[in-house]
Chain A
Amino acid sequence: MAFKNQGSAAPRALVVEDINVDRVILSTMLGKFNCETTIAQNGKEAVDLFLEGKTFDIVLSDKDMPVMTGPEAVAKIRAMGATEVKIVGVSADLGGMEAFMSAGADEFIPKPMTLGDLEPMLQEVISKKNMSG
């Protein structure tokens, strides 16, 4: 399966995850697609990145985190006007889907995530980037 995004600008991904193992796994998965990955360890760190003016093509956020949850962060990010960024909620709690979608996420993936789950979303992000030049 060819993943590498050859000859195109690298998608900028933000991983919002408090569990060390999950951060490494998700970052490695994103690396298969040549993503530039930034890490936030909770929702507040993610929101702070957007407040600093950082932009991303895709955000993958866990639900239950200390300081600020994923859905709380998603709601704040959308309220800031960041409507273009693709936001994906990720959680082992299937009830998290409603919380994320109500907050403004575009998609929800149950944990544990696989490359097969991630690929179509990243292909969409990459296509969008290529079209916008």
Chain B
Amino acid sequence: MANSPMDQLNALVSNMFATGLLDEQFHQLKTLQDPSTPEFVSEVIALFCDDGIQITDELAKLLEQPTVDFDMVDSFVHQLKGSSASVGALKVKNTCIQFREFCKQKSRDGCIKTLDSARTEFYDVRSKFQTMLQLERQVQGFSPK
């Protein structure tokens, strides 16, 4: 028996919390959505995803330079940490905290290794966010008015 979109959505969100991908801040974000701001969560998630792609790409370029500008790297990581914290993307946030430590130590290898982790975590949560939004649209499509 196929699960309904609502069942799939609930299972997905539960899994994201259970695996530490999301934290309570995501619930806080959802409380800000109401009839006057019906697209708020999808807008914020889209912004997080777009910014995250730009930031991780920029970090890769910066870490390829012969001389790494660790202040600039730290500045970008700070942005990713901030936005991930604000949407409740816990694993990404925690990886960024480690990343900033390597920036302080001016460790290129540490930064490169942590960027790989950050990218993996980011693309994982991005993928799940996209599925979440698709399922929410399906649920809204079937909801009685």
A-B interface, 10 closest residue pairs, ranked by CB to CB distance from nearest:
A21-B83, A19-B82, A21-B86, A21-B48, A21-B47, A20-B47, A112-B86, A112-B25, A22-B86, A28-B32
Does B6 make an interface contact (CB < 8 A)?
Answer: no
Tell me which residues across on chain A come within 8 A of B48, comparing CB atoms: 21
Please give the residue numbers on chain A whose beta carbons come within 8 Å of chain B beta carbons, in ascending order. Answer: 18-22, 24-25, 28-29, 31-32, 64, 66, 92, 111-112, 114-115
Given contacts A19-B79, A19-B82, A25-B32, 15 further A-B contacts (CB under 8 A): A20-B47, A20-B83, A21-B47, A21-B86, A24-B43, A25-B86, A28-B37, A29-B32, A32-B32, A92-B81, A92-B82, A111-B86, A112-B25, A112-B28, A112-B86
CB distance from B86 to the nearest CB of A (A): 5
A95 to B32, CA, bound (A): 28
Known contacts A21-B48, A24-B47; is-contact A111 B32 (Cβ 8 Å): no
Query: B32 to A115, Cβ gap below 8 A?
Result: yes
A92 to B31, CA, bound (A): 21
Question: 0/1 per residue, B66-87, Cβ < 8 Å to A?
Answer: 0000000001001101110111
Instruction: Look across to chain A and name the residue whose beta carbon is closest to the beta carbon of B34.
Output: A32
Tell me which residues across on chain A come within 8 A of B78, comparing CB atoms: 64
Query: B29 to A25, Cβ gap below 8 A?
Result: yes
CB distance from A73 to the nearest CB of B (A): 17
Query: B51 to A21, Cβ gap below 8 A?
Result: yes
Tell me which residues across on chain B come within 8 A of A112, comparing CB atoms: 25, 28, 85-86
CB distance from A103 to the nearest CB of B (A): 20
Instruction: Look across to chain A and name the residue whose beta carbon is closest to the beta carbon of B31.
Output: A115
A91 to B36, CA, bound (A): 27
User: Could you list 28 examples of A-B contacts with CB < 8 Å?
Assistant: A19-B82, A19-B86, A20-B51, A21-B44, A21-B48, A21-B51, A21-B83, A21-B87, A22-B82, A22-B83, A24-B43, A24-B47, A25-B29, A25-B32, A25-B44, A25-B86, A28-B32, A28-B40, A31-B37, A32-B32, A66-B75, A92-B81, A92-B82, A111-B85, A112-B25, A112-B28, A112-B85, A115-B31
